[in-house]
Amino acid sequence: MTHLLHLDSSARRTSFSRELSARYAAAWDGTRTYRDLAADPVPVIGEAWTEICDAVLAQGITDPAHYADVVETPAQRAAWTVVEPLLAELLAADVVLIGAPMYNFSIPAALKTWIDQVTFPRMSLRGKAFVIAGARGGTYAPGTPRAPFDHHEAYLRDFVAGHYDVADVRFVHAELTNALVDPHLAGRDKERVASLEAALGGL
């Protein structure tokens, strides 16, 4: 049976990215693991994590099953107790579903912290699939004035495909969500609704 790792990272308990990711998860026919990175944030990496990372690189270890072989000091063991369950969840997944709103042109800090904890040199996740359920206050679609500022999809696509070597990466975005609160975007609410409906239909 296929397994889904479902991550949410929005600081809002009710958000468009959570709505989108929940829609995908509800239709999942298999087992699931859920982690709310905003409600239960993982700690940022520290020096001991960097020591583990350096040792993995120096020893040419590419199999995650052997990362723990380099853990030696008490500080490194403490760092590994954070990494181990997060990494196990990631490796067990056939599909990784990430609810990821755009914050300040990029991804939430809670999501970046998770990425830092579970990522090691030359680490391949080939064969897995990633689905990113995004939400943006404005519109960053190709051809729009703010498209060059999209460091949200661009970062995640480059990282997942480039570092993890994953070919199957899919994005759905609800755009113009700030039309609900920003008077300057009030006239674009129909576009917001259409974008959300298209995103929900694309899951």
Residue ranges of the binding site:
10, 15-17, 102-105
Element (H, E) at 173: strand 168-174
CB atoms within 10 A of CB 145: 9
User: Which residues does the annotation place in the binding site for FMN?
Assistant: 10, 15-17, 102-105
The DSSP 8-state label assigned to residue 188 in this structure reads G
Residues 6+ apart with CB under 8 A from 14: none
- Checking DSSP bridges between strand 129-135 and strand 3-8, what pairing results, if any? unpaired
Instruction: For Cα atoms 93, 99, 101, give the angle at the middle one, nearest 5 degrees.
Output: 150
